[in-house]
A and B are shown apart, each in its own frame.
Chain A
């Protein structure tokens, strides 16, 4: 009789622990979402006031004058992404292709490992490397140096998504090509990569989205520029560096513009990553 009571107590204790621990996990999931909501809420509510057409088409004003925009920074960010993409895309896509088509050996294993390691290198260190590599020999800061830094940051992301997207292509496609007697390289290029192209494109988007949000590697490569400049061997402005400068400056008007710039940047990045999700999901949901 006594035994069954302790058993019952034990049962209830276990039940309670279960409910308690499981609600803790639910709670932590809610707490994890909280900062996201906070950041989105403040960025939108504080950034919206300066969000107008001037922001996109006007130049920054001198200290003390209100108004103005960040046209040069928006163009600058796009140019930096262009340079970074121009260097990083071919390397990333080719390496990813190598890994998926020929990478089932020790060298492929090592490259896969190294790209993972490369993706963990802090962006500021990448900036230092771009500085020693480009800025020191050229003796001045330039958009090109910033582009090199962004390219190094993009490579691991593009490599891994390219590899994964190519691997998603059903093996039967390849076999169909082999059955027709097509050489393997032609199968890789015109059948496999072509079918994976949409996925690879979204990987590129993901890499660009990450690069668009980087500040640290641009601080001493692209440097920043308060004037209109689209020359690639001159310092160039970028949205992220502007946010940093405007946020740490002691002028309220600048601080407010930093929020607006953040809003523009976050919208850009969110759209890119939403596109990535949407395209990859719709394409590969029912394949395999």
Chain B
């Protein structure tokens, strides 16, 4: 009742408003039919939401202005130059970009099948009493700080690689260019293994959600035709492929930006080589290692430009990934 009378009185006010002054009109238009408190509350929360929006725009802008020196000096050449030499002040990001992309790609190569396996197990196979603790454990894996992974990498993983894995690979597959060089332990291989462990929980938990979003009727239809569990899973996977691609890219985003664990095991030398045993460098580890040592403005600017490149790469990956996951979820919501 009260609501109705309010609407009626508002309509009357709207009719009358033509006669009132311009100023009054403006206040009315701003308020509409709402309570003043409502308006203040909405605008206040909106202000903070706008703040978050501005923050992201500002982040990119700030890094751009702070790296102007190196952008103007090196231009696009910064991306392709393979020399990173702080002493002569020649800065090229190519080794770091190479290291970042290769380490992330190889890590995904390991963790994608594994993560997918976990996701399939959790969504299709495991009884519900097992599913919750298992997914909790994989999420716990995501909660371990990166620096602890690094610590574990230095004292457990690297010695194991140096004494067991790398000599073995050299002995049996040493003719391949990937397994040449000195089995030092610290290097690309260690970084790849650590990264694949860190990316695994992301891929498995998002893939699990995506698989669960596929309607049960799809599985029921497959079973009705006499399909085995695996055959129905294949149908589910085919339905979920966009979402899984999204999950993979989110994992990629994490791997690209991962800093501490990689810095602690990758060996930190700006070189491009085919061998997984050799030390390498990633954009994030360059920043972690050299930022506080940057003595000249050009050096600092180059480092900030490196951060800008990393920022742009991760943003592109993340946007693509979110769009993929969303399009998948929306498709099934409509269905």
Contacts and interface: CB of A to CB of B under 8 A. Distances in A.
Interface of A: 14-15, 17-18, 21-22, 24-29, 31-33, 35-36, 38-39, 42-43, 46, 90-91, 94-95, 97-99, 101-103, 107-108, 110-111, 113-118, 120-125, 127-129, 131-133, 136, 152, 155, 159, 181, 183-186, 188-189, 209-210, 212-216, 219-220, 223, 240, 243-244, 247-248, 255, 258-259, 262, 265-266, 269-270, 273, 277
Looking at chain A's contact residues, is the secondary structure mostly helix, strand, loop, or mixed? helix
A90 B48 contact: yes
Contacts of B250: 120
Contact of B257 (A28, A33, A123, A212): A123
A116 B35 contact: no
A264 to B, nearest CB: 11
Contacts of A212: 145
Interface stretch (B9-17, B175-183, B213-221, B313-321): B313-321
Contacts, number: 266
Q: Closest 10 A-B residue pairs measured CB to CB?
A: A122-B257, A28-B117, A213-B145, A185-B41, A98-B45, A94-B48, A120-B318, A18-B228, A25-B121, A216-B259
B151 A243 contact: yes
Interface residues of B, number: 90
Interface of B: 2, 34-35, 37-38, 40-42, 44-49, 51-53, 55-56, 59, 62-63, 66, 113-118, 120-122, 124-126, 134, 136-141, 143-152, 154-156, 197, 200-201, 204, 228-231, 233, 250, 253-254, 256-260, 264, 284, 287-288, 291-292, 303-304, 307, 310-311, 314-315, 317-319, 321-322
A32 B138 contact: yes
Interface centre among B35, B113, B143, B233 (most CB of A within 10 A): B143
Nearest to A111: B49
Given A94-B45, A129-B59, 5 more contacts: A28-B118, A43-B148, A91-B51, A185-B35, A214-B145
Nearest to B289: A219
Contacts of A255: 155
Given A26-B121, A183-B38, A259 B284 contact: no
Nearest to B141: A36
B45 A95 contact: yes
Contacts of A18: 228-231
B152 A39 contact: yes
Contacts of B121: 25-26, 28-29
Given A32-B204, A131-B291, A216-B288, A269 B315 contact: no
B38 A185 contact: yes
